């Protein structure tokens, strides 16, 4: 009985329904996730700001009339009476428009990189929720499997009580443990509903029926060292790429702030319409702004731009440190889970399975007390639960590493891509 029980625990992949595919959920999330769609629209808006930044200011048109005297309309009678038409176009100092366009472009590129990071984070979220959902279903399976053994203890306690070999307290104790398992099962069912709600929100699905049962997730081998994973993240992470674009944008803003010390100018063309013996006139003038108040305007703007550049560089440095710490934490979690899973699978679960078999046999013959049997059953259930918890946490850590490193994956058989 013991080895068969252990085999059904550790190799139970065939017991899982094949109706909820992780790949399908990921595809649905990438298509329908509201946050991803909103960010896509935000990027489209950022791209539309690029040609706006590079464009000239709108030209100004002028229409006016000049009269001589106040008592009557003197157009055509007096030399100074005339209709006036004009146009003004402002031109920025050479290089300013290009710098404005570059700033808008760098901002759009930064947001595009952040969209890729958001997609990776969403995929990781789907994977983690999927694994949590698997674990909840698996815990219910474990409870149902153990309910059979607890029911057997109850039956034995009833037999011993009826034959006068046991006390009623043993029956009540066995029944209490059985009801506690039912309570835990109800709690896991509620957790399944909660996880399904969060998963539906992540994939962008409205309500509907139950998602169903997840496939059995295969244990993915992991061979990367911390240094390899960190290097991959630094070289390929969209978050790092986005921070780099922010630095480039900040550098461009500094150059733009320096350009603001130079004046812009406008060209004004005017036409004066007169009648009779008075000839029409025209004029062409130019105006230029003088950065007279540079101590309170341009200088503070340059200091602000330099501070923004320092901020962007420090944020990049902080992002690298956070990524390194997250990679170390998740790899440590994987290594720890591997150790604990091996301990449960090779040592604690087989040993306690044998202890349960012996305790049940002993209780049936009166050599063991009910509390001993129940205690060993609870211990076995705890070890089985912890095995699958560690299995799930290990897979969730790999999912997080996948997002952090922008695609950390292994080929079948454990080869590194």
Mean pLDDT of 350-360: 81
Task: Examine the pLDDT at 153 and tell me if it is beyond 60.
Answer: yes
Mean pLDDT of 21-42: 89
Residue bearing the bigger pLDDT, 364 or 352: 352
Window from 39-48, 143-152, 229-238, 261-270 with minimum mean pLDDT? 143-152
Torsion of CA 305, 307, 312, 316, to 10 degrees: 160
Q: What confidence category does residue 212 fall into, taking pLDDT thresholds of 50, 70 and 90?
A: confident
Task: Examine the pLDDT at 382 and tell me if it is beyond 60.
Answer: yes
The pLDDT value recorded for residue 393 is 93
- Strand order of the sheet with strand 265-273? 60-66, 82-91, 265-273, 281-288
Q: What confidence category does residue 416 fall into, taking pLDDT thresholds of 50, 70 and 90?
A: very low
The pLDDT value recorded for residue 151 is 72
Mean pLDDT of 247-272: 93
With beta carbons less than 8 A apart as the criterion, state whether 111 and 43 touch.
yes
pTM of the model: 0.80
pLDDT in tens, 163-206: 666 566 666 776 777 778 788 888 888 988 898 889 888 888 88
What does the alpha-carbon distance between residue 251 and residue 253 come to, in Å, rounded to a whole number? Answer: 5
DSSP string, 120-175: HHHHHHHHHHHHHHHHHHHHHHHHHHHHHHHHHHHHHHHHHHHTTSS-HHHHHHHH
pLDDT in tens, 312-347: 999 999 999 999 999 999 999 999 998 998 999 889
With beta carbons less than 8 A apart as the criterion, state whether 83 and 65 touch.
yes
Tokens of 405: 């490193």
Mean pLDDT of 352-366: 76
The pLDDT value recorded for residue 227 is 87
Strands (E), 243-395: 265-273, 281-288
The pLDDT value recorded for residue 235 is 87
Radius of gyration of the chain (CA): 37
Tokens of 36: 């991803």
Which position has the token pair 């034995």?
Answer: 156
Other beta carbons within 10 Å of 322: 12
Q: What value does the mean pLDDT of the chain take? A: 84
The pLDDT value recorded for residue 304 is 93
The pLDDT value recorded for residue 7 is 45
Domain 2-56+98-264+295-404 has CATH 1.20.1600.10: yes
The pLDDT value recorded for residue 12 is 43
Residue bearing the bigger pLDDT, 308 or 349: 308
- Beta-carbon contacts of 14 under 8 Å, excluding residues fewer than 6 positions away, are 216
Cα 324 to Cα 33, 114, 125, 387, 405, distances in angstroms: 28, 18, 20, 28, 10
Residue bearing the bigger pLDDT, 357 or 244: 244
Other beta carbons within 10 Å of 235: 11
Task: Examine the pLDDT at 355 and tell me if it is beyond 90.
Answer: no
Residue count of the chain, please give it: 417
Which position has the token pair 């409870």?
Answer: 143
The pLDDT value recorded for residue 18 is 45
pLDDT in tens, 45-96: 999 999 999 999 999 999 999 998 888 888 888 888 899 999 999 999 999 9
pLDDT in tens, 43-58: 999 999 999 999 999 9
- Beta-carbon contacts of 175 under 8 Å, excluding residues fewer than 6 positions away, are 154
Residue bearing the bigger pLDDT, 162 or 116: 116
Cα 251 to Cα 28, 228, 234, 326, distances in angstroms: 39, 31, 21, 29
Q: What confidence category does residue 108 fall into, taking pLDDT thresholds of 50, 70 and 90?
A: very high
Task: Examine the pLDDT at 221 and tell me if it is beyond 80.
Answer: no
Name the residue ranges covered by the structural domains of the chain: 2-56+98-264+295-404
The pLDDT value recorded for residue 325 is 93
Tokens of 192: 């399944």
What percent of the chain stands above pLDDT 90?
42
């Amino acid at each position: 009985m013991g080895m068969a029980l252990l085999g059904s625990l550790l190799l139970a992949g065939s017991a899982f329904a094949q109706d909820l595919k992780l790949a399908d959920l990921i595809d649905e999330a990438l298509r329908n996730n509201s946050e991803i769609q909103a960010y896509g629209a935000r990027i489209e808006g950022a791209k539309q700001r690029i040609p706006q930044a590079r464009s000239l200011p709108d030209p100004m048109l002028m229409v006016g009339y000049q009269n001589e005297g106040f008592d009557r309309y003197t157009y055509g009678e007096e030399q100074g009476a005339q209709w006036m038409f004009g146009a003004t176009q402002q031109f920025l100092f050479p290089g300013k428009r290009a710098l404005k366009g570059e700033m808008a472009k760098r901002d759009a590129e930064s947001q595009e990189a952040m969209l890729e990071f958001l997609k990776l984070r969403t995929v990781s979220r789907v994977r983690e929720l999927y694994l949590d959902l698997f674990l909840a279903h698996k815990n219910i399976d474990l409870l149902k499997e153990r309910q059979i053994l607890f029911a057997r203890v109850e039956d034995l306690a009833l037999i011993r009580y009826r034959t006068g070999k046991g006390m009623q307290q043993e029956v009540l104790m066995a029944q209490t443990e059985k009801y506690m398992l039912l309570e835990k099962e109800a709690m896991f069912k509620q957790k399944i509903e909660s996880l399904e709600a969060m998963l539906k929100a992540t994939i962008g699905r409205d309500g509907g029926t139950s998602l169903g049962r997840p496939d059995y997730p295969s244990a993915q081998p992991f061979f990367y060292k911390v240094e390899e994973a960190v290097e991959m993240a630094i070289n390929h992470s969209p978050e790092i790429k986005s921070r780099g674009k922010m630095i480039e944008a900040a550098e461009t803003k500094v150059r733009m702030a320096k350009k603001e010390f130079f004046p812009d100018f406008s060209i004004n063309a005017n036409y004066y319409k007169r009648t009779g013996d008075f000839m029409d006139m025209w004029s062409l003038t130019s105006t230029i702004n003088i950065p007279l108040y540079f101590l309170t305007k341009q200088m503070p703007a340059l200091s602000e731009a330099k501070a923004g550049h320092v901020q962007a560089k420090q944020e990049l440095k902080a992002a690298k440190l956070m990524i390194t710490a997250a990679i170390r934490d998740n790899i440590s979690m994987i290594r720890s889970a591997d150790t604990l899973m091996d301990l449960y699978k090779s040592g604690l679960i087989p040993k306690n399975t044998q202890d349960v078999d012996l305790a049940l046999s002993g209780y049936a013959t009166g050599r063991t007390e009910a509390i001993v049997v129940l205690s060993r059953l609870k211990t076995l259930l705890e070890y089985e639960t912890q095995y699958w918890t560690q299995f799930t946490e290990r897979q969730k850590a790999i999912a997080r590493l996948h997002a952090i490193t922008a695609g950390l994956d292994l080929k079948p058989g454990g080869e590194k891509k």
